[in-house]
Amino acid sequence: MWLGDVNLHAKPDHDSTRSALDRVHSLSSFMSHPASFTTVRDPLPDHEQKRAALGYLNEAWAEARHDGVDGDCLAQASLFAAFAELVGTYGEDAVAKFAEGLPVRVRNGEFSIALAKQ
């Protein structure tokens, strides 16, 4: 496996190991100081943030499925993570109230993906 220009499978000689360690140290020093050239972006509108978030989740989901993680396990872990985030942000009572509305939304097909007829 390669990490930058360091082959992780190769047997390092002393000079290349020292050089790699120096690069790691330099990188960690660089990362510990805030960059003065950072730019501040305006936050994306809510609908664009949701679209981006869904894209990230779809990529992570696909990678996990490729690695053999069961879809049901992914769904349960995702729900746990989502509710934990919501509780941390809004509190247990607000999230419980939100969750009370989920059965109707599920029965109304809000979360169903229409299958294309073949």
With a cut of 70, list the residues of the chain below it in pLDDT.
1-40, 115-118
pLDDT for res 109: 93
pLDDT for res 7: 37
pLDDT for res 75: 94
pLDDT for res 113: 84
Report how far residue 38's alpha carbon sits from residue 72's, in angstroms, rounded to the nearest whole number.
Answer: 41
Q: Specify the amino acid at residue 20.
A: A
- This prediction's pTM: 0.57
pLDDT for res 22: 54
Helix (H, G, I), strand (E, B) or coil at 79: helix
pLDDT for res 12: 41
